Structure 1
Amino acid sequence: MIDSKPPAFTNLNDYAKEDVGAKVLFATDDFFAICDNMLLRTEPEFIADKYTEYGKLMDGWETRRKRVEGHDWCIIRLATICTIKGLLIDTAYFIGNYAPKYSIQAAVLRPEDEAIIPKRNASIGTGATEDDFKQINKLRSDGWEEIVPLTVLQPGNEVTRRNYQKVLSDEAWTHIRINIFPDGGIARLSVFGEAMPPVPPPDQLIDLISMLNGGKLLGFSNGQFSSPKNLIKPEKSQSMADGWETARRLDRPKVITAYDNGTITSPGEEYAVFKLGFTGRVKKICADTTQFKGNYPDTIRFEGVNLGNKEWEDSQDIPWKTILGPVKLSANREHWFDSDTDAINHVRVIIAPDGGMSRVRMYGFVESNEIM
């Protein structure tokens, strides 16, 4: 479907980005532009006069015009096992060369299944060889579960480029197969869902808030420049765009003053609420302001609560309990703190008065009653 307003499922984590661990394992053809470009988080670009020895340079996946039987397809390993609630197929700048139709299949693969896939050579001007096809056919991916049937795509003009697709399935998957019919280009792919990792043993220290362990953003006060959803990505951020940055509060005083402890007296604060992947006891907390040098928050505090099986709602009177802070922050560095919380499954991250940070880590142990 085509919609000017992103659907609600786009608030979920995107498990088809290379910076969180997704990877292209196989593609039938990479002639004009390699399939791996679809997993980039950057916005697609178009350089009008840029060509390669194979043709026009495009920022996405573009196959050659098919002159043999069949259609093009690829296999992608998602960042972790997850349910899929919706997709975005972005055809930006692919106007006379976009893939006119697509479908998506999904499967759960074991390491020995993945070992069947031939080693990938991701470079333009190439395509799968006859031997590659003989090998990949052993995987029988054409028989995987179809989660998106044959669906029409729209061209990459600004008003039609974002092709959203809701997925009605509660199954968890590790790999997807994207079929395009018969050939053409796609700029970017997003797969929105919820991680469904196995419950770790009780003595294993894990990042309870990480998106790979099932952590997810539920709500926030301000995300003017970038969403707090970025805070729970597994890798270090590469720029300020890959973090959480709020607008400057308009109620800040004309002249900034400070208390004796060095924190500033500016009023106001901003917050983000997360559900942890597992109910657990937090032992270590990291507040990372890397990349934020002139716009980091003055202080941060963390609140936690165990809501059991209840769903968080912003309108509820939640009995939040402070588990850390407020503590003063500084620019462009990781801040590590010891912690010893009760069992919690929701966290509220509160910065004052505003600003930006790149990551939050909350290492702890899963509560024993979640271990089956």
Structure 2
Amino acid sequence: MHAPEEGKLRVAFTELIDLAAENVGGQALLASDEFFAGKENLLKPGRGIFIPGKFTENGKWMDGWESRRKRVPGHDWCILKLGMPGVIRGVDIDTNHFLGNFPEYASVDALAVEGEPTPEALAAATWTPILPQLKLQGGTRNLFPIASDQRWTHLRLNIFPDGGVARFRVHGEVRPDFERLSRADGTVDLAAAENGGTVMACNDAFFGPKDNLILPGRAANMGEGWETRRKRVLPGFDWIVVKLAVPGTVQRVEVDTAYFKGNFPDTCSIEGCSLREPVVDFANAHDIAWTELLPRTKLQADHRHYFESELAAKGPFTHVRLKIYPDGGVSRLRVHGRPA
């Protein structure tokens, strides 16, 4: 399950959203030791960087979580709160830049708890092992599938006996409070990742990952949107398909091109469909009956576009497809509606 080159990694679960990422609300709450480098680095974007010659008063500066060398029996651990509770399909324990100081082994435990327990209460809780103690390699992404269908809210990363981990990714499927969504009196964002929306597929995500389109909040920069490469064969368009959290009728749509100025799409359109059976390959699913939701419409740079009266149909839909002409970047897509 290991590969030294990130570009060659094609493991299915890595296509799923990172439930623990800092930008979706994930938090590193408590660690047994963080002498050389802080636990909060585990959930930051990217794979971590290395700066030769940069030191702190405790030693070499490292972009990750690193504990001191253990001189007594035991192991180190870090407790993390998922930004979006859900079912975990796999973890990525990335030891990038940690070569002579990576842990020899790691394991993962999980916990499902409501409310906001203190870190100390979490440390004393009874945890469920979801990944046994397995051997790690240094300077690479260590990818491990998880065979658990339970919804979890917190994880504990255990390293044996000590050392450094650059990043910890928790790929899975969001499991929100569906009863709350069903009881909603007003509209809810049916596409939002935190509500259970899922990006199923897109034809291109060269510059910006597909999941960025439905993340919480507005993007902080251009790199936090979905962006395709420049299209050299025209005419044509790029597309992305989002499965709604629950089937619903659409009342209002927002297309946000924040920070996209010389590379925003010229126009866009949106379609919806209602599917009873799951579709594996949207790129080749030619028999789907798509209904026009938003006709092809002119877009502006760095602008929040709201569409309500322009909507040609309201559903109910299970999926929506955003089409951008001919290419470019979109920061966020919001699909406000009512659960059917």
TM above 0.5, yes or no, is yes
Computed over aligned residues only, the root mean square deviation of the Cα atoms, in angstroms, reads: 1.5
Which of 305, 327, 331 lines up with 1:358 in the alignment? 331
What SS does structure 1 have at the residue aligned with 2:30? strand
Percent of pairs identical after alignment?
Answer: 42
In structure 2, give the amino acid aligned to 1:366. Answer: P
Determine the C-alpha separation between the residues in 1 that align with 2:133 and 2:109.
10
1:136 is displaced (CA, Å) by: 5.4
In structure 1, give the amino acid aligned to 2:325. Answer: A
Cα deviations by residue, 1:89-113 (Å, 9 ceiling, x for unpaired): 11000001111111001110122xx
Equivalent positions of 1:24-173 (< 5 A) are 24-111=28-115, 114-118=116-120, 137=123, 139-140=124-125, 143-156=126-139, 161-173=140-152
In structure 2, give the amino acid aligned to 1:190. Answer: R
Equivalent positions of 1:1-372 (< 5 A) are 1-3=1-3, 4-111=8-115, 114-118=116-120, 137=123, 139-140=124-125, 143-156=126-139, 161-199=140-178, 200=181, 201-252=183-234, 267-311=235-279, 313-314=281-282, 315-316=284-285, 317-338=287-308, 339=311, 341-367=314-340
Determine the C-alpha separation between the residues in 2 that align with 1:280 and 1:324.
16
In structure 2, give the amino acid aligned to 1:226. Answer: G
Cα deviations by residue, 1:254-281 (Å, 9 ceiling, x for unpaired): xxxxxxxxxxxxx211101111111111
In structure 1, give the amino acid aligned to 2:134. Answer: T
Determine the C-alpha separation between the residues in 2 that align with 1:227 and 1:136.
33
Q: Which stretch of the first structure deviates more once superposed, 312-321 or 193-202?
A: 312-321
Determine the C-alpha separation between the residues in 1 that align with 2:338 and 2:277.
19
What SS does structure 1 have at the residue aligned with 2:170? strand
What SS does structure 1 have at the residue aligned with 2:162? coil
Is the alpha carbon distance of 1:136 and 1:364 closer, same or farther for their aligned partners in structure 2, counting shifts above 3 Å? closer
- For normalisation by structure 1, the TM-score amounts to 0.85
1:146 is displaced (CA, Å) by: 0.8
CA contact 1:19–1:235 (8 Å) conserved in 2: no
Determine the C-alpha separation between the residues in 1 that align with 2:48 and 2:19.
18
Where structure 2 has 5 or more consecutive residues not aligned to the other structure, the ranges are none
1:221 is displaced (CA, Å) by: 1.4
What SS does structure 2 have at the residue aligned with 1:89? strand
In structure 2, give the amino acid aligned to 1:144. Answer: W
Is the alpha carbon distance of 1:92 and 1:312 closer, same or farther for their aligned partners in structure 2, counting shifts above 3 Å? closer
Determine the C-alpha separation between the residues in 2 that align with 1:246 and 1:309.
29
- Which residue is equivalent to 1:264? none
1:84 is displaced (CA, Å) by: 0.3
Determine the C-alpha separation between the residues in 2 that align with 1:77 and 1:352.
39
CA contact 2:47–2:94 (8 Å) conserved in 1: no
Determine the C-alpha separation between the residues in 2 that align with 1:334 and 1:72.
46
1:233 is displaced (CA, Å) by: 0.6
CA contact 2:64–2:167 (8 Å) conserved in 1: yes
Where structure 1 has 5 or more consecutive residues not aligned to the other structure, the ranges are 119-134, 253-266, 368-372
1:245 is displaced (CA, Å) by: 1.3
